[in-house]
């Protein structure tokens, strides 16, 4: 049997409502200073660059070589400075998206506000061959210039798109959904990106993450999702247990994956609208979130390794659930 994580907190350990995922009453909060840890996570690559595309939060402006952007007097490879955090539902960005699949999906997404494309002649041709019409200024560059912008280890395939993050979707946007996947404090952007791809492949209606202890939208998450970030609703919630309760009130059956579940997912009765909840690989689904669900279910593995990575557990759970729902 498996669940993507170990059980939450040892018995008898004192935990906060944030640790357990239990609903907490609304209270006034002062906005944390820019660059502080209050509700923000800075995911950096091996060279210390921010995951949003080569900058650190709160960092100073960096001088980068390149011709001035026509009409604006700015350099096309200047670092993009972030704005405010999502805490007050404010837009954050712009971000740098790279890779042909990621950029193609961003151009096809009417919800994505785009600013400019930096691309080699070859990358421009390949995007055009895929039916992409450029509705933003295009600057022709060479691969070395893009390496300087997003890092030599980034697989940019000759193209970088400067764009705003997607609008902040919420539970209100799930009125017509039938199959929703919720991730309770899954923090690794590569895992979340892989899960977004699986959600698109298996036609899930949305992927839900927490506002804290989850990867921010940026270049690493977008590249890991390989375009899926622009192809499925990504909903961010402040309190996962409260969200689960609201979804149940809206007619969803909430099922949390847990190795201690009384029945296999294949044996669990499912309704017409299902919310699947998976937890982090460190703690699993938190206690308060589990208690908010209708049922716990497990995934049993026949082999010598009984546990799955959370992204693998997600694709298997979606596949089983779709079959049981007749989708």
**Is the bond preceding residue 85 a cis peptide, omega within 30 degrees?**
no
Residue 106 · residue 114 · CB < 8 Å: yes
**Of 2.60.120.620, 3.30.1330.30, 3.10.20.90, 1.20.140.10, which CATH number belongs to 86-163?**
3.30.1330.30
Distance CA 158, CA 152 (A): 12
**Could you tell me which CATH class the domain 169-325 is placed in?**
alpha beta
Pairing assessment for the beta strands 138-140 and 179-184 based on DSSP bridges: unpaired
pLDDT tens sequence for the chain (327 residues): 444 544 333 333 344 444 555 555 544 444 444 433 333 333 334 444 443 433 333 333 333 333 333 333 333 333 443 333 333 333 456 899 999 999 999 999 999 999 999 999 999 999 999 999 999 999 999 999 999 999 988 999 999 999 999 988 888 899 999 999 999 999 999 999 999 999 999 999 999 999 999 998 888 999 999 999 999 999 999 999 999 999 999 999 999 999 889 999 999 999 999 999 999 877 899 999 999 999 999 999 999 988 889 999 999 999 999 999 998
Distance CA 119, CA 137 (A): 11
pTM above 0.95, yes or no: no
Distance CA 327, CA 324 (A): 8
Distance CA 205, CA 197 (A): 12
Three-class SS state of 62: coil
Distance CA 211, CA 200 (A): 21
From 47, 46, 153, select the one nearest 99 (Cα to Cα). Answer: 153
Residue 291 · residue 244 · CB < 8 Å: no
Distance CA 254, CA 276 (A): 6
Three-class SS state of 250: coil
Distance CA 69, CA 233 (A): 33
DSSP annotation string for 103-136:
HHHHHH-TT--EEEEEE-HHHHHHHHHTTPPP-S
Residue 53 · residue 218 · CB < 8 Å: yes
Domain ranges of the chain: 86-163, 169-325
CA-atom Rg of the chain in angstroms: 21
Q: Distances in Å between the alpha carbon of 186 and those of 51, 88, 101, 194, 267?
A: 16, 22, 24, 12, 26
């Amino acid at each position: 049997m498996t669940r993507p994580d170990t059980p939450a907190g040892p018995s008898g350990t004192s935990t906060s409502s944030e640790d357990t995922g239990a609903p907490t009453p609304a209270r006034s909060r002062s906005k944390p200073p820019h660059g502080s840890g209050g509700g923000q996570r800075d995911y950096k690559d091996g060279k210390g660059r921010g995951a949003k595309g080569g900058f650190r939060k709160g960092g100073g402006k960096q001088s980068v070589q390149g011709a001035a952007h026509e009409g604006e007097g700015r350099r096309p490879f200047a670092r993009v400075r972030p704005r405010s955090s999502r805490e007050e539902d404010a837009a954050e960005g712009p971000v740098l998206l790279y890779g042909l699949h990621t950029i193609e999906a961003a151009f096809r997404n009417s919800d994505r506000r785009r600013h400019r494309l930096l691309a080699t002649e070859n990358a421009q041709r390949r995007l055009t061959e895929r039916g992409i019409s450029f509705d933003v200024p295009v600057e022709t560059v060479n691969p070395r210039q893009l390496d300087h912008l997003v890092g030599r280890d980034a697989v940019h395939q000759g193209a970088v798109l400067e764009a705003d993050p997607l609008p902040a979707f919420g539970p209100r946007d799930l009125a017509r959904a039938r199959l929703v996947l919720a991730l309770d404090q899954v923090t690794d952007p590569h895992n979340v990106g892989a899960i977004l791809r699986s959600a698109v492949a298996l036609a899930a209606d949305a992927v839900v993450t927490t506002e804290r202890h989850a990867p921010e939208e940026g270049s690493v998450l977008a590249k890991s999702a390989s375009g899926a970030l622009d192809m499925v609703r990504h909903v961010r919630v402040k309190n996962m247990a409260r969200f689960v309760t609201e979804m149940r009130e809206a007619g969803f059956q909430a099922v949390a994956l847990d190795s201690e579940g009384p029945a296999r997912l294949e044996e669990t009765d499912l309704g017409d609208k299902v919310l699947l909840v998976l937890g982090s690989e460190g703690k699993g689904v938190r206690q308060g979130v589990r208690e908010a669900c209708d049922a716990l279910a497990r995934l049993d593995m026949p082999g010598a390794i009984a546990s799955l990575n959370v992204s693998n557990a997600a694709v298997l759970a979606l596949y089983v659930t779709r079959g049981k729902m007749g989708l």
